[in-house]
A and B are shown apart, each in its own frame.
Chain A
Amino acid sequence: MKPFFVRLDQYLIRLYLIGGYLAAACLVTIAILVTVSIVSRLLSIYVPGLTEYSGYAMAAASFFALAYTFQSKGHIRVEVLVSRLGTMKRWYVEVWCLSVASIVSVLLAAYLAKLAYWSWKFEEHSEGSDAILLWKPQVLAVVGSVLLAICCVHHLVKCLLSRPQEIESIDGRA
């Protein structure tokens, strides 16, 4: 591959890793929020919105980590058939899989962005006791899903540019 692509590849991988770290931070946030809810209940203090915030942190943790998980081959797939194919066929299957993944992830990112946009436009509030503007947590999910879309397209392009012998499949356990 050309040096430009190599460098781009490295930058993108770093970008996904940052997403992973953000997700990890969200996971720690969930733990802290739940701890606060336990402690506040023991002290009979009412802190509104804790469950909702945990939910948003959960969504953020999941979405932020999607690309990072994809990059580190953490997403599972059915490997029974793919693993039995020869190099050339395997390349075609890989291109097919990555194409589907790219389409799905781009659609997901686009429509989540649309959802967040309408929440922002109509100033939708959460129905829970937190009553915050819904677009705020939704934007986090949008960022995560955009990262995943970039990641899928990145791997599709990379696969198309490599020769069949060079592809390392993004395989998971399944």
Chain B
Amino acid sequence: MEELSLILIFLFVLFLLLGSGVWIGMSLIGVAWIGMLLFTDRPVGDAMATTIWGGASSWTLTALPLFIWMGEILFRTKLSENLFKGLSPILWRLPGGLLHVNIAGCTVFAAISGSSAATVATVGKMSIPELRARKYPENMIIGTLAGAGTLGLLIPPSITLIIYGITVNESIAQLFIAGILPGIMLALLFMGYVTIWGVVTKKRKIENIADQTGDMKDVVQLIPVVLLIVGVMGSIYLGLATATEAAVLGVIGALVISGLQGSLTRETFMTALMGATRTSAMIAFILAGSTFLSLTMGFTGLPRTLAEWIGELSLSPWMLIFALLAFYIVLGCFLDGISSVVLTMAVIEPMARNAGFDMIWFGIFLMVAVEMAQITPPVGFNLFVLQDMTGKDMAFIARAAAPMFLLMIVAVCVLLVFPELATYLPSVMMQG
């Protein structure tokens, strides 16, 4: 009984710190500290310093800032301008027309930038005015952006996937490769939806001519970036490079592309570098807090108890997965993707392993779950970004995003029926 009240105090402190707006990294360290006081007699400070130093100086972490840096460099090239013009000549003929550019644009952009919100903002900035000018319905413009924007978490190199890999000690290279097919599947689901919508409403016929924008010259502009992404992922898949090494190749490639395009100046170089420094410091701090919190969690016995409890319930994998899905969507009302992964893994990991899930597969599932949280009200980051950009109210945006949400549930079901979608490619890749 005393054990239980200690756990309750521990959880209360956790929610108090996080909820009152204490920075997430600080909250994690603070609650871990208090947990250590409650559950052990160990010297807390020394345990903290050793754990945090060990976690922060780990080599596996180095992929993180490098991929962020690559994204920051590409973000400042002409890529975002080229994206709309370059994709529309390829896609405008499809039923549903230029709405496909939103999805394909987000998919490409997701590959270079690990962040959902940045993906939505960048693609939306170009496509919203163009699509509005062509009288596409507002709810479709917003819905496709909100949905496809979340692909950033799934399509490699995804920052959140790196975090997951570090937290549960699974190969980042394998996770990246595992994300490819499910990411493409989700993109195709979105595009299929737009296509069906296009056929039903006969949208294509009306705007055919006005839709033409850009020509093959603009398509060619996109090739270097696509080659870079394929090269980075290919080198991982073929076992030629580790995730970190591939990231450095990505940084070098990004610098070359931006140099050739003439957008590499001293100023853009420094802004990109400092941006990467900030983002990776923010994430590293959260990770540092979470390694310390994991240590404490071990002492609380919470993860083991929960794993055993779930084990005794002997839920079917379907029920368990949908319970977790609901859990992450609720959590996503308060926390961003990275924080919810980092905060929960210490407890969820033993449970997932105990339930017999393949941890690579589970990582991919988790990404879809966290993505869904990003487009659910009241707090979905992609929704906020879209609210700022379109000036529509939250209810409208959430309704526009709802079909995408349902498609993601379909994606989770497909992943459950065909787990090979995530596990096949990693199983045949060369080990680097």
- Roughly how many angstroms separate A20 CA and B30 CA in the complex, as a whole number? 25
The answer to whether A174 and B339 touch across the interface, beta carbons within 8 angstroms, is: yes
Q: Does A48 contact B (CB under 8 A)?
A: no
Nearest-neighbor residue (CB-CB) of A170 within chain B: B23
In the complex, per-residue mask of A123-167: 1 if CB is within 8 Å of any chain B CB, else 0: 000000000000001100100000000000000000000000000
The answer to whether B66 and A97 touch across the interface, beta carbons within 8 angstroms, is: no
Shortest distance in angstroms between A54's beta carbon and chain B's nearest beta carbon?
5
Question: Contact check: which of A54, A81, A141, A172 meets B53 at CB < 8 Å?
Answer: A141
In the complex, per-residue mask of A26-55: 1 if CB is within 8 Å of any chain B CB, else 0: 011011001101100000000000011011
- Roughly how many angstroms separate A150 CA and B115 CA in the complex, as a whole number? 30
The answer to whether A174 and B24 touch across the interface, beta carbons within 8 angstroms, is: yes
Nearest-neighbor residue (CB-CB) of A102 within chain B: B26
Q: Does B62 contact A (CB under 8 A)?
A: yes
Is chain A's interface secondary structure helix, strand, loop, or mixed overall? helix
- Roughly how many angstroms separate A54 CA and B333 CA in the complex, as a whole number? 36
- Roughly how many angstroms separate A69 CA and B21 CA in the complex, as a whole number? 17
Shortest distance in angstroms between B31's beta carbon and chain A's nearest beta carbon?
10
The answer to whether B49 and A97 touch across the interface, beta carbons within 8 angstroms, is: no
The answer to whether A93 and B53 touch across the interface, beta carbons within 8 angstroms, is: no
- Roughly how many angstroms separate A53 CA and B419 CA in the complex, as a whole number? 38
A101-B23 contact, Cβ under 8 Å, with A55-B62, A65-B281: yes
**Interface footprint category on B:** 35 or more
The answer to whether A174 and B335 touch across the interface, beta carbons within 8 angstroms, is: yes
- Roughly how many angstroms separate A10 CA and B251 CA in the complex, as a whole number? 34
Name the A residues within 8 Å of B334 (CB-CB). Answer: 78, 80
The answer to whether A23 and B26 touch across the interface, beta carbons within 8 angstroms, is: no
The answer to whether B273 and A76 touch across the interface, beta carbons within 8 angstroms, is: no
Name the B residues within 8 Å of A13 (CB-CB). Answer: none
- Roughly how many angstroms separate A9 CA and B126 CA in the complex, as a whole number? 39
A74-B281 contact, Cβ under 8 Å, with A104-B29, A104-B30, A111-B46: yes
Nearest-neighbor residue (CB-CB) of A99 within chain B: B22
Question: Contact check: which of A28, A62, A101, A111 meets B49 at CB < 8 Å?
Answer: A111
The answer to whether A107 and B379 touch across the interface, beta carbons within 8 angstroms, is: no
Binding site for B on A (CB under 8 A): 20, 23-24, 27-28, 30-31, 34-35, 37-38, 51-52, 54-59, 61-66, 68-70, 72, 74-82, 93, 96-97, 100-101, 103-105, 107-108, 110-112, 114-115, 137-138, 141, 170, 172-174
Binding site for A on B (CB under 8 A): 17-27, 29-30, 33, 45-46, 48-50, 52-53, 56-59, 61-62, 65-66, 69, 117, 241, 244-245, 247-249, 251-252, 273-274, 276-282, 284-286, 288, 333-336, 339, 378-379, 381
